[in-house]
Structures are given as structure tokens and as C-alpha cells.
Amino acid sequence: MALPGFSETGDGAIPLVLIDRAGLSSWLDDQPTRVATWLRRTGFDAESGTWRAIPAVDGDVAMIVAGRDPEDDLWALAGLPMSLPEGLVVALEAGVPGAEDICLGWACGSYVFDRYRPAKREPAALAWPDDADQARVTAMCEAVALGRDLVNTPAEDMGPLELVAAAQELAEHTSAEVKVCVGESLLTEGYPAVHAVGRASSRAPRLIDFNWGQKDAPRVTLVGKGVCFDTGGLNLKNAAGMERMKKDMGGAACVLAVASMVMQCALPIRLRVLIPAVYNAVDGNALRPMDIVTTRKGLKIEIGDTDAEGRVILADALAAAVEEEPELVIDMATLTGAARVAMGPDLPACFGSDDALAKELCDAGAAKDDPLWPFPLVGAYRGHMASDLADTNTIADWPFADHIQAALFLQQFVGDATPWLHIDTFCWNPSARPGRPKGGDIQGARAVFELLCRRYGEASDD
Amino acid sequence: MDCFVDSAHSDENAIVVTPVTREGLDDWMSRASGQQGRWVKEHDFEASPARFLTIPDESGRIATVLVATTDPASVFSLGDLPAALPAGSVCRLEGQFDVLTATRFALGWALGSYRFDRYRKNDKEPARLIAPPEANMDRVQAIAESIFLGRDLINTPAEDMGPQELVEAVAEIADPAAAELRVIEGQDLLDQNYPTIHAVGRASHRPPRLADLTWGDPDAPKVTLVGKGVCFDSGGLDLKPAAGMKMMKKDMGGAASAIALASMIMRLKLPVRLRLLIPAVENSVSGNAFRPLDVITTRKGITVEIGNTDAEGRLILCDALAEACSETPDLLIDLATLTGAARVALGPDIPAFFCNDDQLAADIAEHGKGSEDDVWRLPLWPAYRKMIEGEVAEINNAGTGPGAGAITAALFLERFVDDGVSWAHFDIMGWNLSGKPGRPKGGEVMAVRGLFDLIEQRYGKG
């Protein structure tokens, strides 16, 4: 598949010359007067993301000069595909450092969600640099596009069934097996909490169990929250809170994207992906506040708020995940508003069963410009989730640190024996930045993939 | 201190307090009388954290109190006992302890004996402990009395703890240490270029002030503490609702914490040149109150647009931080009850801190953990600087979000700290919402014991 924003052949490419601020002045001194004058007169200061077209004598574009940030290969040029003239093909100079990151940023910046209307323009094309691993970049950006598409698709077209279809489609290209447990069978197969949250919807809840890789390879299990739409249930959200709730399956989109990266790069692991896919709806049979649900693990949970449903479906999925004692369990979820209040849109909160593991993930994310910030599992806060009637409540009795409370809740279903990472992510860009268009995104997914690469041997250029 | 009896005191009626670890309980049982052993078993006492058990002698009096501790000993092991044991009783610690452990036990005892009795007498005198001979009682006393002072300042209602009274509290610690204290008041703040402190405090009939204390060898490394002293925060014209205003007598909790830390440093004579800066104001509503979208030219010259009059803490801190940097301290620490977002991020019990020096940040976290005064680092996230850009001024005092309110507040302060100054900013609650051993409900200085340990380690003991 040809990747949007890239030219396979590089035919007709003009040079894309990258200059950083520090090197601008001396570089200009070496240029023909015509070029140097043009850049000076047009106020080019090599600020990251800015560019100038250099005219040829016949008025054609002879060259593009763009500002780069030596600290940020990934995003510095990611705005160019949609700001350079349409139809232009550009080629990096041979040997430009960071070519692979530049390509990935370029690809992310070429992304358009065009399911419901055609793109306003085609991205300018970058000729594949010789030293970029084309297959790897393609794998990464196809996964990013997959994740973004899933999040951006409105809930009407992205219910539990469609989320299953997305997983099945991903599996088709590989040797992955997908088992799906639907509706009533969730009760017989031991996923009562998933069923309880999803039962009020006309679109039946499902559990996706996706397996890939050699059976004897190290087992890694990813769990993604797949709430295809979150009305809040009987504790109905208000309009402002409900508006973006098509994105509440962002965790599922993230783990499917990671799975795509893992499979395309043939990482030597046994991968399992568990996605509880539900629609948190209001109906006569909807789960009620103060209902008590017996979970897969046997722990009884009291529903403090039907809008804290993500942790409920994850509880069963995490319990299932640890049953086969994988080396590592990672869950990703658009779980709490508190994580956003704390960290804003850019920084998913992450929690680790031990500090070193959380640091490993944060380091991997920092290296790949997919940052996360670690938070503590504060033992002293467990008491705030006590239930009068059941083993635990689903929410805390105070308005603080809900992301920590949610992580503490999940920890009960993971237990002490399995190394575990929990990522509370936003899966949305509230405003556009280079390479990150406004709308759905998969913050944290590339960090997770990098962690897996570092652990399980895939060579990385960092 | 009232909670201790001199170690020379011998009282054969003293209640014996015996700290035991969970692991050490069997050993204690093997030496206990049959009657005592039965009593322990009958009560299912397993030395789990924060538990204690009173054991009768044959005459029905309290012979021994077994109290759970850990290895290493928790500071708070004995924290419940002063209030729980009979009024007026004298207790004696039983066992062989090293200096560190005995000092911790004594400090926990002291911290647990605190009562705020300014407006109402204690119903019950706390039990007293014969000072353990191994303990460093000078240290215990200096630390505990400094903390008591801080708690008293926070607990005192705003009517009796205005800017003048807060400055008097600084004088109270300055005098015995022969520290120099300069107070700038009212109109003089304008004349001496503290325009932002004046702007925030000018609407109150109790004029704003800046307390500036210096102590120690002028050639010693300079350590500067800044504490937010908003004696009451009505929110100003952006008036808080009743629920948000209720606790606002505690909005000088940063000042109280900084005063407590300064008191420890001076009493234990750490080899530093200490400076303490306390901007003390009341954020009131009046005809001359500063308004939303006013622009203030701060002491540093940076212009600030007022996005919200209720984000006043960072305003008074900015002039103090600018002044602090004028003498390039070796270490600059500010403490402030600054944002609700920090409470959402980490809950009320764990202060958030921000630091421009990674090594210092690691040391702060380590000493916080070591002294059971936990703090957690959040990032000065550069990408969020755009959230505090002003429309008509250089910066705005209210972050635009979405989210990240504690981070944007810290980024605001960062603008007033000179490059090269090692700086840490603590966003604290200043309040215990519920009582815990050694930490009674109400006003609390936070992060301070950890910071004292850090400063002592960094610069040496007194």
C-alpha cells in the first residue's frame, strides 16, 4: 500500500534543505546571493516548522528550505505535508540525521480522516530517503492511522460490533486468531462485569480476545478500554461531558495500533490483546448506582457511579489477562477526567506495579516523543474506595486524584504477581499541532511499542 | 514541650509503651506472661500498622501498651498514643533503640500531642512520654515546635491571622535567633517595587506586606524560602462560591510551611545563610480591587494580564521570587497552597513539586520518602507555556487549559526564576482533611520535614 505523503520513485523531486537556527547565518553566507537575499528579505529565521520556496529563474520552485529543530526530528517538519504546495515532491539531502523520525512525522502530518468527506487537499510528497527503514516507518504510520480512524469514527459507525470487525481485519493480514464472546455468552464465559456495563445497549457487549505469535515466546498482554460510546449510563453525562464520548474506546484503538506495530515488525513475543467492547447506554435494564456486580475474579464491586464504567469492564479483562501469567500486562484507557485536569492533553498518566517499570515506559516514551508521566499508586488512598456492602466501591469517597483511585481499583484485579502498567490517556488532540491534527489520536501507543522493542530485542535506532 | 517528661524522671507508675514489629511480636510473646499473651491473642493484635493494644496488670491498671511499628521505624508509630492513653498519664518507652529510631518515636509522639486550643480548652490533656534517653530531644523539640507553630498559623481564623499577624509570626522566630527582619508595608511596596504584591492586597483594609528575614553567616551558601501568605482568599472580584471559600483561612499554608522550615533551620543552626520571604496579603473585594484583564508590570518587569483574580497566589509569589533571585541563592524553594489541580492530581496528602534541576528533584523525592513526608514531581512541561500567553501582556496568570492547572501555575512562576538558580516549587494542601496518627485533622505544614532533611544533607548539620 502506498503511503499518503510519500513518493515511491521520487520523480521530479526538488531538494528539501533543512537548516537550524544556529546554523542559518553561516549557511546563508555560502549560498548564491539570489537565494540568500530571498531568504533574508522574506524574513526566514529557520524557526522550527517554517519554510520558504526558493524560486528558479523561470519562476518554478527550485528548492524548499525549512527550519528544523535538532531536538525534535519527529514533529519539526510534520506540518509541511499540508502546508507545502499540493503536488510538490521533495527529497531530503542524503545523510540527513533523523531521517526515519522525519519520515514518521511526515506521515503523521499527512493523515486526514476522510471517511465522511474527501480531503481538502493531497499532502505534498516526500521521496523515501535511502537511510529510512521504509517498512518500519510504514508499519508505524499505518498503525497510527488505524488508531486515529477508530477514534475519529462516530459511535454510530463504531459500536462494539465494528470494533470487533476492526480487530478481525487487523488479524486477517497476519496469523492472529480472534475469539469474540458476545452478549449473553459473556455471562457464561465469565465476564459478568463487561456484560453488566454493556447490557443496556441494543448493540450487544463483546469481549475480543486476540492472539498472535509463537506460543512459546514471552507473553505480553495488552488490554484496551473499548467503550464505544459513553453516555454515562443512568448517571448521565451533561452535554459538554458527553460530546466527545465517541473517543471512549481510545484505549482499544491504542492497543490495536500497538498490535499492528508488533505484528508488522514481527516482534518475537506472544501477543494477546483483550478488548472489552461495550456501549454504556441508558435503558430499562441499565446498571444502576449501588448495584453490586460479582466480577470474573470473584471480587464484588459496588457501583458508585455508572459513569465510572471503564474500570468495571477492565476489571474482568485484567483478571482474564493475568490468569495465564504473562510476563507483562499493559492496559490503556481513556479512564478519568482527573488525569486530564492533572496533566493536560499532552501527557497520559501512567502507573506501574513497580517504579522501575513505570520509569522504563516513561523513558521509552521520552525517546520516541510520545511522553507519559508517572503517578504513584498511593496505598493510603485505598481506604477511600471502601464499600459498605461489597469488597470495593468503583469510585472514591472524595473528589481527589480519581486517576489514582481508578488505578488502585484496577490493581486489585491484577494482583501482585504480574508486572503491570496502566496508562490513562486522552486519545484526542484538542487543537492541531504539526503531525497531530485535531481529533482522535493514540497518545502512549508508540511509547508502549518502544518499550516492547527495548525489552524483546527489536533493534531500535535510539 | 508539654508532651515530654524529663528523662531523669522516674515514675514507677509509668505506663510501659513497647513498640513491636509484626515480625518481632512472636519474640515479645515468648517473653510475656501467660496472662499477657492470652490478652494479645484474644484481641487478635497482629502489630499491623497504626494499631496498639493496652494490656492490664493484675490490679486492672494499664501495665503495657503494645504499639505496632515497622523496621525501619515509622515516625508515626506512636502518633495516636498521646491522645488515646489516659489524660495526664506518664509513659515510658521500653526497649533498646538506636538514636534514629528513638528520635522518630519521640517526634511522632510530639506530633500526635498537638492540639489547637486557642479558642477552646482541651477536653483532655495528652499523655506524656518520658523523653527516651537515646533520642535527640533537641532535634525533636525544634522540629515539633516549628511544626506546631505552622499548624497554629494555619488553624487560626483569618480574622486573627491577617497580614500583620503573619508578619508578627515571622518576627517571633526572628527574635530568638537574632535574625534580621525587614517588613515592607502598604504604599511602601509600590515605592520599593513590589507592585504585584500590592495589587493583590490593596483591596483589603489590612494592608499587604512583605516580610524579609535573613539569618546566618553571610558567606554561607544562600538558601531562600518563599511562602505564599494569602491570609484569606475570597477570590477577589472573581469571587469564590461558598464551598470554595470556606477553607480559605488556610491559604497562607505555604507561608506557614516556609516559616516552620525557617524555624527548624535557625533552631538547629544549619550552616546556611537563610532568607525567608513572605508576601502577606488578604485577597479581598472592594472598590479598588484589581480586576480581570488588568495588566500589572511586576517587579521583574514582566507584564502580567489578570485572567482571573482568584489566581492571586502566583502573583504575590512572582515579585518575591524575582527578589529572591536578585542575590542568586544556591537553593530557592517556594511553598504555596496554589492550585486545586494539584489536589486533583495527587490527592490532598501528597504535595506536587516542580523543579528545574533533575538532581535536586531526585534528592527532594528521596528525602520526602525517607522522612515520610512524601511529595511527587510533576513536570514543567514546555509545550504548555502557550497556555499562559497573554493577549495584551507577556503572560496571563490563569492558564487557558484544557487542564494542567498546577503545571501552568508552575510555568508562570518559572518565568520569574533566573536561569541557573536551582529552584523547587511546592504546591501543597496545607490541611489534613482527616486525622491520621501524628497528623491531626486541620492545618498542616507539608513537605517541610523532607526539605529540612534535604537541606541538612546538602549543607551539613548545625
Helix (H, G, I), strand (E, B), or coil: what is residue A5? coil
Among chain A residues, the shortest Cα distance to B342 is held by A342
DSSP string, A160-220: HHHHHHHHHHHHHTTT-EEEEEETTHHHHTT-HHHHHHHTTSSS--EEEEEEES-TTSPEE
Between B350, B376, B402, which is nearest A344 by CB?
B402
Separation in Å, CA of B214 to nearest CA in chain A: 36
Between A345, A373, A401, which is nearest B344 by CB?
A401
* End-to-end Cα, chain B, rounded Å: 21
pLDDT of residue A461: 47
- Indicate if the alpha-carbon torsion angle B365, B368, B372, B373 is positive or negative: negative
∠ CA A89-A90-A93, rounded to 5° = 155
Question: What distance in Å separates the CA atoms of residue A177 and residue B359, rounded to the nearest whole number?
Answer: 48
Positions of CATH 3.40.630.10 in chain A? 138-456
Burial class from Cβ neighbours inside 10 Å (0-12, 13-18, 19+) for residue A275 reads buried
Question: What distance in Å separates the CA atoms of residue A174 and residue A262, rounded to the nearest whole number?
Answer: 11
Question: What distance in Å separates the CA atoms of residue B312 and residue B323, rounded to the nearest whole number?
Answer: 18
| Cβ contact B376–A375 (<8 Å) | yes
Question: What distance in Å separates the CA atoms of residue A161 and residue A202, rounded to the nearest whole number?
Answer: 11
Mean pLDDT of the region A243-272: 97
Fold of A138-456: Aminopeptidase (3.40.630)
pLDDT, averaged across chain A: 96
User: Looking at the predicted structure, is the pLDDT value of residue A447 above 80?
Assistant: yes
* End-to-end Cα, chain A, rounded Å: 27
Burial class from Cβ neighbours inside 10 Å (0-12, 13-18, 19+) for residue A113 reads middle
Please, what CATH class does the domain formed by B141-459 belong to?
A: alpha beta
User: Looking at the predicted structure, is the pLDDT value of residue A408 above 90?
Assistant: yes
List the beta strands (DSSP E) in A4-47.
6-7, 14-19
User: Looking at the predicted structure, is the pLDDT value of residue A409 above 80?
Assistant: yes
| Cβ contact A381–B349 (<8 Å) | yes
Mean pLDDT of the region A27-39: 95
Among chain A residues, the shortest Cα distance to B383 is held by A346
Phi-psi region of B232 (alpha: psi -120 to 50; beta: other; left: phi over 0): beta
Nearest to A245 by CA among A271, A281, A269: A281
**Among the four given CATH numbers 3.40.220.10, 3.30.565.10, 4.10.1240.10, 3.40.470.10, the one describing domain A6-110:** 3.40.220.10
Question: What distance in Å separates the CA atoms of residue B191 and residue A55, rounded to the nearest whole number?
Answer: 58
Asked if B73 and B45 count as a contact pair (C-beta separation under 8 A), the reply is no
What own/partner pairs with CB < 8 Å and gap ≥ 24 does B104-107 have? B104/B73, B104/B74, B104/B75, B104/B77, B105/B19, B105/B69, B105/B73, B105/B77, B105/B78, B105/B132, B105/B135, B106/B4, B106/B131, B106/B132, B106/B135, B106/B137, B106/B140, B107/B75, B107/B139, B107/B140, B107/B143, B107/B144
pLDDT of residue B201: 98
With a pLDDT cut of 70, the percent of chain A lying above it is 99
**A173 compared with A241, residue with greater pLDDT:** A241
* Cα dist from A178 to A89, A172, A329, A352, B135, whole Å: 41, 9, 18, 28, 65
* Cα dist from B332 to A166, A351, B276, B339, B377, whole Å: 53, 30, 10, 20, 16
pLDDT tens-digit readout, A186-214: 999 999 999 999 999 999 999 999 999 99
* pLDDT tens sequence for chain B (462 residues): 889 998 777 777 899 999 999 999 999 999 998 889 999 999 999 988 889 999 998 888 898 999 999 999 999 999 999 999 999 899 999 999 999 999 999 999 999 999 999 999 877 899 999 999 999 999 999 999 999 999 999 999 999 999 999 999 999 999 999 999 999 999 999 999 999 999 999 999 999 999 999 999 999 999 999 999 999 999 999 999 999 999 999 999 999 999 999 999 999 999 999 999 999 999 999 999 999 999 999 999 999 999 999 999 999 999 999 999 999 999 999 999 999 999 999 999 999 999 999 999 999 999 999 999 999 999 999 999 999 999 999 999 999 989 999 999 999 999 999 999 999 999 999 999 999 999 999 999 999 999 999 999 999 998
Between A346, A380, A430, which is nearest B381 by CB?
A346
DSSP string, A260-320: HHHHHTT-SSEEEEEEEEEEE---TT---TT-EEE-TTS-EEE-S-TT--HHHHHHHHHHH
Separation in Å, CA of B312 to nearest CA in chain A: 20
Nearest to B300 by CA among B276, B279, B319: B319
Question: What distance in Å separates the CA atoms of residue A173 and residue B257, rounded to the nearest whole number?
Answer: 61
Counting one residue from chain A and one from chain B, the pairs whose CB atoms sit within 8 A come to 74
Asked if A95 and A131 count as a contact pair (C-beta separation under 8 A), the reply is yes
Phi-psi region of A325 (alpha: psi -120 to 50; beta: other; left: phi over 0): left
pLDDT of residue A460: 46
| Cβ contact A378–B407 (<8 Å) | no
Question: What distance in Å separates the CA atoms of residue A423 and residue A332, rounded to the nearest whole number?
Answer: 5
Helix (H, G, I), strand (E, B), or coil: what is residue A239? helix
Structure confidence at residue A458 as a pLDDT band (50, 70, 90):
low
Mean pLDDT of the region A397-403: 97
Between B348, B404, B405, which is nearest A400 by CB?
B348
| Cβ contact A344–B345 (<8 Å) | no
Mean pLDDT of the region A151-176: 96
∠ CA B372-B373-B374, rounded to 5° = 95
Pairing of strands B376-377, B295-297: unpaired
Question: What distance in Å separates the CA atoms of residue B406 and residue B429, rounded to the nearest whole number?
Answer: 12
Burial class from Cβ neighbours inside 10 Å (0-12, 13-18, 19+) for residue A39 reads buried
With a pLDDT cut of 90, the percent of chain A lying above it is 94
Asked if B251 and B313 count as a contact pair (C-beta separation under 8 A), the reply is yes
For an interface test with B, give the residue of A69, A347, A404 to mutate (most B CBs within 10 A): A347
pLDDT tens-digit readout, A44-83: 999 999 999 999 989 999 999 999 998 888 999 999 999 9
Burial class from Cβ neighbours inside 10 Å (0-12, 13-18, 19+) for residue A462 reads exposed
Whether A338 has its CB under 8 Å from any CB of chain B: the answer is: yes
Residue type present at position A275: I
Among chain A residues, the shortest Cα distance to B343 is held by A400
Positions of CATH 3.40.630.10 in chain B? 141-459
Question: What distance in Å separates the CA atoms of residue A323 and residue B250, rounded to the nearest whole number?
Answer: 49
Asked if A385 and A412 count as a contact pair (C-beta separation under 8 A), the reply is no
* Cα dist from A412 to A379, A387, A393, whole Å: 12, 14, 12
Q: Which residues of A are catalytic?
A: 237, 311
Which residues of chain B have a CB within 8 Å of the CB of A431?
Answer: none
pLDDT tens-digit readout, A295-341: 999 999 999 999 999 999 999 999 999 999 999 999 999 999 999 99
Which residues of chain B have a CB within 8 Å of the CB of A399?
Answer: 344
Q: Write a three-state SS string for chain B.
A: CCCEECCCCCCCCCEEEEEEECCCHHHHHHHCCHHHHHHHHHCCCCCCCCCEEEEECCCCCEEEEEEEECCCCCCCCCCCHHHHCCCCCEEEECCCCCHHHHHHHHHHHHHHCCCCCCCCCCCCCCCEEECCCCCCHHHHHHHHHHHHHHHHHHHCCHHHCCHHHHHHHHHHHHCCCCCEEEEEECHHHHHCCCHHHHHHHCCCCCCCEEEEEEECCCCCCEEEEEECEEEEECCCCCCCCHHHHCCHHHHHHHHHHHHHHHHHHHHCCCCCEEEEEEEEEEECCCCCCCCCCCEEECCCCCEEECCCCCCCHHHHHHHHHHHHHCCCCCEEEEEECCCHHHHHHHCCCCCEEEECCHHHHHHHHHHHHHCCCCCEECCCCHHHHHHHECCCCCEECCCCCCCCHHHHHHHHHHCCCCCCCCEEEEECCCEECCCECCECCEECCCCHHHHHHHHHHHHCCC
Whether A415 has its CB under 8 Å from any CB of chain B: the answer is: no
Positions of CATH 3.40.220.10 in chain B? 4-135
User: Which A residues, 371 through 390, put their C-beta within 8 Å of a C-beta on chain B?
Assistant: 373, 375-376, 378, 380-381
Per CATH, is B4-135 categorized as 3.40.228.10? no
Positions of CATH 3.40.220.10 in chain A? 6-110
pLDDT of residue A459: 46
Q: Which residues pair with B277 in a beta bridge?
A: B212, B226
